[in-house]
Amino acid sequence: MGDRVADKIALVTGAAAGLGRAIALRLSEEGASLVVADLDAAGLAETERQIKAKGRPVMAIAVDVTEEAPVKALFAAIFKAHGRLDILVNDVGGGTSGHIWEAKVEDWDFILRLNLRSAFLCTREAAAHMRERRYGRIINLSSGAREGTPWTAYYVGNSAYSAAKAGIHGFTRGVALELAEYGVTVNAVAPGPIETEKTAPSFRKLEPLEYGPVRATPLRRIGVPADIANAVLYLASDEANYITGTTLAVAGGR
């Protein structure tokens, strides 16, 4: 247990599993009071249980952050309970569309909505509040896919996800410039190949392939959720108070 974000109020979306859960746990370990949000109520309850098991405060809210009204209700609940929000982590994302010649319009729209609209809606609510307080940390999850992922492109295709995460990169830069004069920093973390309970099986299949993730990563290993959680913690802490508008690649050198 540490104090790098002691007494801060932090909201992590997409916290029901994987990177979102790891980020929430890491911020909690360093002193933050957590609000965790996700559409997966069962997974969210498990994240809440793990945080409470360490004696740390947490509030779990099952919500669809791609919709405007639920996002407004989420922030209203946070302000009612805590009176403020110091840290926002937009972790919600994902989705697959297949190769471009077979991709469906509905998959394209869903992926952009999941990754970009959710970040926009949550950031808009947080920004209005943080601007008034002249303090805040916003961290978005981009991806190495923003520049194309070789193993995905060659074997399954997912240009919609690459487009969405490139959008997060640009969104982060633009919002950072808008909020800079108010003392609010906005950054992104761009994970490379990270092994979670969801991605592990696919990585095992890709390992022996010519363009697989291990061979394409200079450090010759797949990352773990703690690698991303530590990067988010750094950007959320006062150690990074002169960093804004930056996308930090946590991708083993890829």
Asked if pLDDT for residue 203 goes beyond 80, the answer is: no
Question: What does the pLDDT read at residue 131?
Answer: 98
Q: pTM here?
A: 0.94
Task: Report pLDDT digits (tens) over 102-122.
Answer: 999 999 999 999 999 999 999
Ramachandran category for residue 78: left, alpha or beta (phi over 0 → left; psi -120 to 50 → alpha): alpha
Say if 108 falls within a structural domain. Answer: yes
- Active-site residue identified among 161, 182, 211, 242: 161
Asked if pLDDT for residue 253 goes beyond 90, the answer is: no
Q: Which band of pLDDT confidence, cut at 50, 70 and 90, is reported for residue 48?
A: very high
Say if 2 falls within a structural domain. Answer: no
Average pLDDT of every residue of the chain: 93
Residue 13's domain spans which residues? 9-250
To which H or E segment does residue 87 belong?
A: strand 87-90
Q: Which residue has the higher pLDDT, 95 or 234?
A: 234
Say if 183 falls within a structural domain. Answer: yes
Q: Which candidate, 163, 229, 227, 170, places its Cα nearest to that of 193?
A: 227
Say if 156 falls within a structural domain. Answer: yes
Q: Which band of pLDDT confidence, cut at 50, 70 and 90, is reported for residue 149?
A: confident
Say if 179 falls within a structural domain. Answer: yes
DSSP 8-state class, residue 114: I
Asked if pLDDT for residue 193 goes beyond 90, the answer is: no
The whole-number average pLDDT for the span 218-234 is 93
Say if 148 falls within a structural domain. Answer: yes
The whole-number average pLDDT for the span 142-166 is 86
Say if 4 falls within a structural domain. Answer: no
Total of domains in the chain: 1
Q: Between β-strands 9-13 and 33-38, what pairing exists: parallel, antiparallel or unpaired? A: parallel
The Cβ of residue 96 has, within 10 Å, a number of other Cβ atoms equal to 14
Say if 139 falls within a structural domain. Answer: yes
Question: What does the pLDDT read at residue 204?
Answer: 72
Say which range, 77-91, 161-175, 188-202, has the weakest mean pLDDT: 188-202
What distances in angstroms separate CA 31 from CA 22, 89, 217, one per listed residue? Answer: 15, 16, 33
Q: Which residue has the higher pLDDT, 216 or 51?
A: 51
CATH of the domain at 104: 3.40.50.720
The whole-number average pLDDT for the span 120-131 is 98
Question: What does the pLDDT read at residue 155?
Answer: 73
Asked if pLDDT for residue 31 goes beyond 90, the answer is: yes
Question: What does the pLDDT read at residue 59?
Answer: 98
Question: What does the pLDDT read at residue 182?
Answer: 98
Q: Does the active-site annotation cover 154?
A: no
Question: What does the pLDDT read at residue 3?
Answer: 96
Task: Report pLDDT digits (tens) over 93-104.
Answer: 998 888 999 999
